Amino acid sequence: MRATAHPLRIVVIAPLRYPIREPHAGGLESSIWHQVDQLRARGHHVTLAAVEGSDFLDQSPESFVLPPVVWAADEVPNDVDYPVGYEDRALPALERALAHIAAHSDEFDVVHNHSLHGTPLAWAGRLGVPMVSTLHTPVLPQLVAAHASAVAPASRFIAVSAHTAGEWMPVGIESTVVPNAVDADRWPLGPGGPDLVWFGRIVEEKGAHLAIRAAKLLGRRIVLAGRIGDPRYFEQEVAPLLGPDAVYLGELRQPELAALVGRSRCALVTPVWQEPFGLIIAEAMMTGTPVACFDTGGVSEVVGDLPGTRLVAMGSVKQLAAAAEQLIARGDGDAGIRRRTRTEAVQRFSLGVRVLELETMYRRLMLDGTLGAALHAVPALPGSAGAGDSALPGSAGAVASALPVTAAAAAASPSPAARS
């Protein structure tokens, strides 16, 4: 990537809990890792505040290295709770990092906050450095309260989808939509293969057990990969379904995961909550592997009218199996569909383009405290309307991104119950 002639000094604040490193704990951690990596490749000075063990801490002061999560022998590691006493250590450490920024404000140009705690938002107006925060989740009351308590100038906001922006609008937080992105070089076009694939965090809201049931209906083998974020869910709902035709490989590093997805016949994506974005959909499409997916939250914005994709009613195993069967049949009769799927995915979700957009936003934030006007729109595919791939309930077609979400737009996207 070509380096910028005018590098910025950027602080990136990661969430607590998981290090920013491979294998990525989830889509949030993956997005932050790639953001820092690409901004540094562009020549920017990026300082990361993150949990001990993260990559990219080489340029971070000691106060930016946050305590790791350590579970006691009698505690069950999971994605919902923290170990007893962890926040008592971690939140003061996060405050020390923010105090360092405030004390050295002349050394930084912008702060990009990804934290799921309200502390950075509460500090935003006291840092002496403009802040932008990305909304990665449904509404979190703690973040709403922290933003409301902040003195001016408060943080500006980015949302990963129009759906997510619409959820936060009724609680008084306006945002600019900038979809997540994928490094196309790390997710190359794959040859396909015989098996179905499911990958992601193994937690109840991701619905891995439903993918296995759909595969059984099809009589096809499915391979699963991902970190177990809810051991009880895995033991009760997933493990009993495993066997010769439903194989769990564990947590894979990114190159191994991309290779697995690229040699698969079809990816099944099964969120059973209001999915904010659905990064794994874009990752699968980068490899050319078709995607059958539950239609919920922001996933229709990711799928759009892309070839090789189908959306079905959330929770319907029968519809999911039928959609996968249709995609497989289409792939068998159209040798070029994998390459076309990748080409359009690269056009829509290029990490290089997103990084340039972030640069533009950072500079505008420094200039006048706003994120600026629309930067780009994700186009509809020529001739794709009515072609069948998007003619299913909830398909979005073209999805405008990098657009400020207004109250009128939010009214069309009611906020469901928040879930972090």
Regarding whether 157 and 235 lie in a shared domain, the answer is no
Regarding whether 122 and 37 lie in a shared domain, the answer is yes
Largest CA distance in the chain: 63
At 222-276, the pLDDT tens digits run 999 999 999 999 999 999 999 999 999 999 999 999 999 999 999 999 999 999 9
284 is a domain residue: yes
- Percent of the chain exceeding pLDDT 70 equals 87
Regarding whether 15 and 144 lie in a shared domain, the answer is yes
d(CA 271, CA 5): 42
Residue 31 has pLDDT above 50, yes or no: yes
Question: Could you tell me the pLDDT band of residue 58, with boundaries at 50, 70 and 90?
Answer: very high
388 is a domain residue: no
- Is the Cβ–Cβ distance between 342 and 288 less than 8 Å? yes
404 is a domain residue: no
Q: Which residues of 271-310 are buried (b: 16+ CB within 10 A; e: fewer)?
A: bebbbbbbbbbbbbbbbbbbbbbbbbbbbbbbbbbbbbbb
- Both tokens of 404, joined, read 């400020």
Which of 314, 346, 378 corresponds to the end of one domain? 346
3-state DSSP helix/strand/coil % of the chain, to nearest 5 = 40, 15, 45
Crossing angle of the two packed helices 208-218 and 317-333, in degrees rounded to 10? 60
d(CA 392, CA 224): 26
- Is the Cβ–Cβ distance between 249 and 224 less than 8 Å? yes
Question: Could you tell me the pLDDT band of residue 182, with boundaries at 50, 70 and 90?
Answer: very high
Per-residue pLDDT at 312: 97
Per-residue pLDDT at 167: 96
What's the Cα-to-Cα distance from 14 to each of 52, 116, 133, 134, 403, rounded to whole Å?
A: 11, 9, 11, 11, 24
Residue from 294, 293, 292, 291 nearest 314 by CA: 294
d(CA 61, CA 57): 8
- Is the Cβ–Cβ distance between 282 and 342 less than 8 Å? no
- Both tokens of 390, joined, read 């998007």
Residue 356 has pLDDT above 70, yes or no: yes
192 phi/psi in degrees, rounded to 5: 80, 180
**Beta strand residue intervals within 173-332, DSSP E:** 176-177, 196-199, 222-225, 246-248, 266-269, 291-295, 309-313
Q: Calculate the CA 133 to chain-centre distance.
A: 14
- Percent of the chain exceeding pLDDT 90 equals 82
Bridge partners of residue 280, in order along the sequence: none
Residue 410 has pLDDT above 70, yes or no: no
- Section 124-135 average pLDDT: 97
Which of 296, 319, 346 corresponds to the end of one domain? 346
Residue 309 has pLDDT above 50, yes or no: yes
Residue 94 has pLDDT above 50, yes or no: yes
Per-residue pLDDT at 368: 87
Regarding whether 83 and 26 lie in a shared domain, the answer is yes
Regarding whether 329 and 243 lie in a shared domain, the answer is yes
Which of 346, 373, 388 corresponds to the end of one domain? 346
19 is a domain residue: yes
CATH number of the CATH domain containing 82: 3.40.50
CATH number of the CATH domain containing 231: 3.40.50.2000
392 is a domain residue: no
Read off the DSSP letter of residue 61.
-
Question: Residue 206's domain spans which residues?
Answer: 196-346
- Section 135-163 average pLDDT: 96
- Is the Cβ–Cβ distance between 101 and 119 less than 8 Å? no
Regarding whether 16 and 146 lie in a shared domain, the answer is yes
Regarding whether 296 and 237 lie in a shared domain, the answer is yes
d(CA 176, CA 355): 15
| Count of domains for the chain | 2
- Section 301-326 average pLDDT: 94
Mean pLDDT (the chain, rounded): 88
356 is a domain residue: no
Residue 369 has pLDDT above 90, yes or no: no
Regarding whether 239 and 161 lie in a shared domain, the answer is no
390 is a domain residue: no
Q: What is the pTM of this model?
A: 0.86
Instruction: Spell out the long-range contacts of 94-98 with Cβ–Cβ below 8 A and sequence spacing 24 or more.
Output: 94/13, 94/16, 94/49, 94/66, 94/119, 94/120, 95/119, 95/123, 96/63, 97/13, 97/49, 97/63, 97/64, 97/66, 98/123, 98/127
d(CA 223, CA 242): 10
Residue from 121, 134, 133, 135 nearest 164 by CA: 135
Question: Could you tell me the pLDDT band of residue 5, with boundaries at 50, 70 and 90?
Answer: low
Bridge partners of residue 247, in order along the sequence: 223
Regarding whether 275 and 243 lie in a shared domain, the answer is yes
Amino acid letter, 193: G
Lowest mean pLDDT among 15-29, 78-92, 374-388: 374-388
- Both tokens of 225, joined, read 């990969």
For the chain, what's the residue count?
420
Per-residue pLDDT at 415: 34
180 is a domain residue: no
- Is the Cβ–Cβ distance between 118 and 142 less than 8 Å? yes
Residue 388 has pLDDT above 50, yes or no: no
Question: Could you tell me the pLDDT band of residue 358, with boundaries at 50, 70 and 90?
Answer: very high
d(CA 10, CA 32): 13
Question: Could you tell me the pLDDT band of residue 335, with boundaries at 50, 70 and 90?
Answer: confident
- Section 282-303 average pLDDT: 96
Regarding whether 208 and 161 lie in a shared domain, the answer is no
Question: Could you tell me the pLDDT band of residue 370, with boundaries at 50, 70 and 90?
Answer: confident
Per-residue pLDDT at 15: 96
Regarding whether 261 and 134 lie in a shared domain, the answer is no
Regarding whether 170 and 276 lie in a shared domain, the answer is no
72 phi/psi in degrees, rounded to 5: -75, 160
Sign, CA torsion 44/359/285/114: positive
Per-residue pLDDT at 2: 64
Per-residue pLDDT at 295: 97
Per-residue pLDDT at 376: 39
- Is the Cβ–Cβ distance between 279 and 134 less than 8 Å? no
Residue 419 has pLDDT above 70, yes or no: no
**Beta strand residue intervals within 152-256, DSSP E:** 156-159, 176-177, 196-199, 222-225, 246-248
